[in-house]
Structure formats: C-alpha cells, structure tokens
Amino acid sequence: MLTTEQRPQSFTAEDVAAFERDGFLIQRGLVPDSYVRTILEVTRRDAAAHYGDIEYEADVQYPGAPESLDDEGGRTIRRLQQAFSRDPVFSRLVKEPFLLNRLQQLLGPQVVMPLAHHNCIMTKHPRYSSDTGWHRDIRYWSFRDSNLVNAWLALGEETLANGCLRLLPGSHNMDLQREQLDDALFFREDLPQNQSLLNAAVTAELQAGDVVFFHARCFHAATRNHSDATKYSAVFTFRSLDNAPIPGTRSAQLPELLL
C-alpha cells in the first residue's frame, strides 16, 4: 500500500483527456486507509445516533423507498448531510495534494468547495434503499455555468449488487431535447432515441479508497442495495473561483470553502 507521499499527486495527460472525453474518471486506491477508517467511524457514530442533518429514504420517494417516515423502514438513512460539520477529517482530506492537485487540473488553479451541494455521506442500506434514475446533478443547481466536478469516495466495496454508480460516457457534452427527460428531469429509459446512450453505460465498481471524479453534467444512476450490508460513500462538489452561485438560489444558501 502506498503512503500518502508516494501516491501520484496529479492526473496524467491521458487521464485529463479521458475525463474531458467521458465526463468521469476513476482513480484506484487514491485515498489512504487511514482516511477511510476515520470517515467510517464518524459515519457509523452519527448514523447510529441519527445525528445532525439527515435525508431519509422516505424523504425522496424514489422507487423502493418507504412511503413515509412512519412506515416500516421509514427512518432508513439515505444521506448524512453537511459532512464538513461532522469532523475535521473532511477538511484535511480535501486539501490533500493528491486530491486538490487533480481538482485544479480539471477546474483551474483556484478551487472552491460549495457546502450547499453533496457535502455528504451516502448510506445505502439493504431492504429499504431506493433506485436513483439517470440524472445530471446540475439539474437543480444554480451557478454561472455548469462546469462543476464531484468527487465520490468509496468507503467499502461498491458493486452492482449493492447499488454502485453507473455513468453514461460523454453525456456531459450532450445537449438533449426536453422530451428525452421526464417531468423530474430524469433521462427516460423508455425512449428508443435514448437507447444507444444507455447501452454504453459504464459500471463503476469500486473498492475502499477509490475515487470517481465526474462532471456535474454527466448522467449517472444507481439501483437499490440488494446485498445484506450497508454501503457507504463520501461525496463532495467543487467549482472554479469564477463560477459563482447565482444569488438567491439554493446554491448560494451556505458558505463555501476556498481551497
């Protein structure tokens, strides 16, 4: 296992070209075990206590979720929100050169972390987790432009069986017709014209410490967890300094961190 100092501190030119082409890139073993262990400890502590800002599966009403908080499984956690306020480990992680240097390659020399979006630990439980349809994160964000990057850190094994990410290569560069999306702006799986893109979907199976960098316009989806163990992932969003949130929108409601 590489130490923090031994890890490659940046993308290769081929990596950057792949991200620009596909809209996502997987970096294997990027985050050291010490970070993964600490984040898991924080996650399990706060999840057991239902501590802090929490989104429950019943809140989103996606397929497979309990219908209400009072139903069986209604208090199944979907996201521990505001991860940055839960432990200093997160502020240390996002400033690590092996992460920040890569973000600068994708976004420019001055990187900002919005705390209003993602900034969370995703918890996908057996039995009561839900399916998330094909969507772009930028659909409900409001910035000067859509050039934002997410970093998804696997805190354990992620497979098709427990609901890992799936991504549509090149979809971040595509301008779609409104009829290709449903009322909630999910990419429609029932349209023949969408099938060629759906057939090209890539499955991001991960191990603890792997990171997926993906563009906010890249379509991604995930099924519910069909395994018998909870899956945990930490997810954060980043922008360039000049891509400010639009005043008065949800994207401008919380402070931001200049990295």
Q: Averaged over 15-44, what is the pLDDT?
A: 97
**pLDDT tens by residue, 134-154:** 999 999 899 999 999 999 999
Per-residue pLDDT, 246: 96
Range name among 24-33, 37-46, 62-71, 93-102 with the lowest pLDDT average: 62-71
pLDDT at 252 over 60: yes
pLDDT for res 81:
95
Per-residue pLDDT reduced to its tens digit, 180-219: 999 999 999 999 999 999 999 999 999 999 999 999 999 9
Nearest residue to 180 via CA among 223, 224, 139: 139
Query: What's the confidence (pLDDT) of residue 4?
Result: 54
Going from the C-alpha of 109 to that of each of 49, 143, 148, 240, 257, the distances in angstroms are: 39, 18, 14, 8, 14
* Average of per-residue pLDDT values in the chain: 93
**What is the average per-residue pLDDT within 114-123?**
94
Does the pLDDT at position 235 exceed 90? yes
| pLDDT at 223 > cutoff 70 | yes
Angle, CA of 120, 217 and 145, to the nearest 5°: 95
70 pLDDT tier (thresholds 50, 70, 90) = confident
What pLDDT is recorded for position 3?
53
Long-range contacts from 66-74, C-beta under 8 angstroms, 24+ separation: 66/128, 73/127, 73/128
Write down the domain spans for the chain: 13-233+245-258
When pLDDT is cut at 50, 70 and 90, the band that residue 63 belongs to is confident
pLDDT tops 70 at residue 49: yes
Residue 74: pLDDT band with limits 50, 70, 90: confident
Q: What does the pLDDT read at residue 14?
A: 96
How far apart CA 238 and CA 169 sit, in angstroms, is 20
Name residue 175's beta-bridge partners: none
Q: Confidence class of residue 64 from pLDDT cuts 50, 70 and 90?
A: confident
pLDDT above 70 for 6: no
When pLDDT is cut at 50, 70 and 90, the band that residue 178 belongs to is: very high
- Give residues with Cβ within 8 angstroms of 70, minimum separation 6: none
pLDDT in tens, 81-118: 999 999 999 999 999 999 999 999 999 999 999 999 99
Phi, psi of 27 (to 5 degrees): -115, 115
More confident residue, 81 or 8: 81
Q: Under CATH, which number does the domain 13-233+245-258 receive?
A: 2.60.120.620
pLDDT above 60 for 1 = no
